[in-house]
Amino acid sequence: MSSARLRSWEKWPAAAAVAVLAVSGLGQMPIFKRYYVADLPGLAWTADYYLLHTLHYLAAVVLLLLVTSRLPAWLGWWRGKPRPVWLRLGQPLIFLGLVATGLARTAKNLPEVSLSPELVLAIDLGHLLLAMLFGLFALLALTWGAVGGKERLPGERRTI
């Protein structure tokens, strides 16, 4: 059976893509310049909105390719895991929500597409909220055994 997990060579690009998405996503808000982050040596690029925009798209492409390539296998994999159902299902659902809102925003940015202001606002705020939930759930999944949740199964490795 094909593994639902990323192979070891795939994990680092995936982790790097998530990190780039988090930083470039936060940087979509005009905060890095205001709060002196862009003043730190080597971090002036965090205030370059065009660069952040491109980085966000490119990192999304990398992550989408890696994760969706494991999705068919994942569908038959998650059942036996020792984490509670809300966590097991919550992570992929949040991820799907992030992808859906991200792609909707991508489509909206095309010159031919025009969406209602309410929908655009819902997409933008939804994407921001889901990104925060994604981080929270990732932490929970990573530390479940350590914070009083059920222990991992014998031999089960912690995954990113």
Partner 1 sequence: MNRRMFLKGLTFGAAGLALPGVGSAGEKPAAGVELATLLDLNRCIGCGACVEACREANADKFPEPKKPFPPMVPKRSKPEDFSDKREERERLTPYNWLFIQTAEVDWQGERRTLNMPRRCLHCRLPPCANLCPWGAARKEANGAVRIDEGICLGGAKCRDVCPWSIPQRQSGVGLYLDLAPRLAGNGVMYKCDRCFARLASGGLPACIEACPEGVQKIGPREAIVAEAKALAEATGGYLYGLTENGGTNTIYVSPVPFEVLDAAIDKGPGKPHLKPVAGKLSGEKALAAAALLAPLAGLAAGALRLVRAAKETNEEVAKEDRHE
Report how far Cα 114 is from the mean position of its chain's Cα atoms. 26
CA distance 1 to 134: 28
Q: Between residues 19 and 125, which has the closer beta carbon with respect to partner 1? A: 125
Q: Between residues 110 and 147, which has the closer beta carbon with respect to partner 1? A: 110
Grouping H, G, I as helix, E, B as strand and the rest as coil, residue 37 is: helix
**What's the min distance (Å) between Cβ of 79 and partner 1?**
16
Q: Between residues 90 and 102, which has the closer beta carbon with respect to partner 1? A: 102
Would you tell me how many other CB atoms lie within 10 Å of the CB of residue 131? 19
- Residue 112: which residues within 8 A CB-CB, separation 6 or more? none
Quick check: 141 and 83 in contact, CB under 8 A? Answer: yes
For residue 100, give the amino acid letter.
Answer: A
**What's the min distance (Å) between Cβ of 56 and partner 1?**
9
Q: Between residues 68 and 143, which has the closer beta carbon with respect to partner 1? A: 68
Query: Rule CB under 8 A: which residues touch partner 1?
Result: 1-2, 28-31, 34-36, 49-50, 53-54, 57-58, 60-61, 64-73, 99, 102-103, 106-107, 109-111, 114-115, 117, 120-121, 123-125, 128
Would you tell me how many other CB atoms lie within 10 Å of the CB of residue 110? 8
Q: Between residues 112 and 154, which has the closer beta carbon with respect to partner 1? A: 112
